[in-house]
A = this chain, B = another copy of it.
Amino acid sequence: MTKKIFFTPGPSALYYTVEEHIKTALKEQVMEINHRSKQAEAYYQSAVEGLKSLMSIPGDYQVFFLSSATEIWERQLQNLAIQHTFHFTNGAFSQRFFDFAQAWGFNAKQAQAEYGSLTAFLPGMIPEETELITLALNETSTGVAFPLEQVYAIKKAHPKAILAVDGVSAFPVVDLDFSQIDSAYFSVQKCFGLPAGLGVWIVSPQAMAKAQEKQAAGHIIGSYQSLPNLYKNGIKNQTTYTANVMNIFLLAKVCEDMLEKGISVIRSESNYKRAVIHNAISEHTSLTHFVEDEKLRSPTVSVAKVEGTSSQHFINALATKGLVMGSGYGAFKGQHLRVANFPTHSKEQFEQLADFLQAIEVS
């Protein structure tokens, strides 16, 4: 049976080398070793070094492994703010971080944009007392990208606040200058093409200091996943609990593969594939771009509004060709098509996808 090709925006297609790496992991008994053994430490170190090299993460930033990006929302609230948070929300995921802040009792404010758009950053918008500012570099539910120059402008305007960047479906494709942000995170089942079950948290010295400051002021910053405890274990190349060692091993391997391919090749292929799918959406009479402003369209998740029929019509037609497409998120289910453009997807797959899309008729 031919395998399906997943264009869903996460979980998505495995990175094309992962199946072989899983077989190697079984052979080398990676899933059986102790998580505090030298062998596990070597995987941890290799994954950290690979990520730092691949995404040019500054040497004095920490990289920690947790269970998911969802968990990292909570850990950021526990470690990086005492009271005041501010959230750019423009989709289900950026909104959920704001909801978490409210659930945990923070004085949380938001700049809420219509889904498919974005509130532009303007000086004076964010209250001066804000400790933690959050935004999604790539809002996976709507396909809106946060322009990098705006990310950097926010930090420049609020140098004392911690700027947290959701890179879930953006990294390593989006070329973020980490030195201009404080906290960034992603889960591995998107662009890295791994099985779900691991979150990665990248933390600046300023963010590390904020957690210590909060603790020193007598506030609770958590237990095993507090930043000081993550650091205490991290410098030994260890996780704070029995983590998903297999995924850390796979992440190290995929970083090696991506480094060998070259991040600039990955990024330029991504641009090409984006152009192909954008063109296919523009040319189809029943599809329009959900994100009207071209400058805000995500490099990794393209969202098309379907007119004259349900998006299920397209999903079903593509399924007959073995292609699995995402539908709209939440309330947009049935109205949108979401197409992941991740490093594992080849140019040829995108060209074929565009051809198939074009041939789908809406009667």
Contact = CB atoms under 8 A, between A and B. Distances in A.
Interface string A222-236: 111000000000000
Given A22-B26, A100-B223, A223-B104, A196 B245 contact: yes
A195 B13 CA distance: 21
B19 A32 contact: no
A242 B10 contact: yes
B19 A34 contact: no
A242 B68 contact: yes
A247 B197 contact: yes
A12 B26 CA distance: 13
B103 A222 contact: yes
A12 B13 CA distance: 29
A42 interface: no
A345 to B, nearest CB: 12
A70 B224 contact: yes
Q: Give the dominant DSSP class at A's interface.
A: loop
A246 interface: yes
Interface residues of A, number: 51
A221 B158 CA distance: 32
Contacts of A195: 31, 244-246
A263 interface: no
Contacts of A334: none
A71 B199 CA distance: 14
Interface string A175-212: 00000000000010100001111100000000000000
Nearest to A97: B223
A100 B246 contact: no
Given A68-B242, A245-B11, A246-B197, A220 B6 contact: no
A35 interface: yes
Interface in A234-251: 240-247
Given A11-B32, A67-B67, A224-B70, A244 B100 contact: no
B187 A223 contact: no
Contacts of A74: 222-224
Interface in A312-363: 324, 326
A38 interface: no
24 contacts: A4-B29, A6-B29, A10-B242, A11-B245, A13-B32, A19-B26, A31-B195, A35-B196, A67-B67, A67-B68, A67-B197, A68-B241, A70-B224, A70-B240, A71-B71, A73-B223, A74-B222, A74-B223, A99-B223, A104-B220, A104-B222, A187-B242, A189-B242, A196-B246
Given A73-B223, A100-B224, A189-B242, 20 more contacts: A6-B29, A6-B33, A8-B32, A11-B33, A11-B242, A13-B32, A14-B31, A18-B31, A22-B26, A32-B324, A67-B67, A68-B243, A70-B224, A71-B71, A105-B220, A187-B242, A195-B244, A195-B246, A196-B243, A197-B244
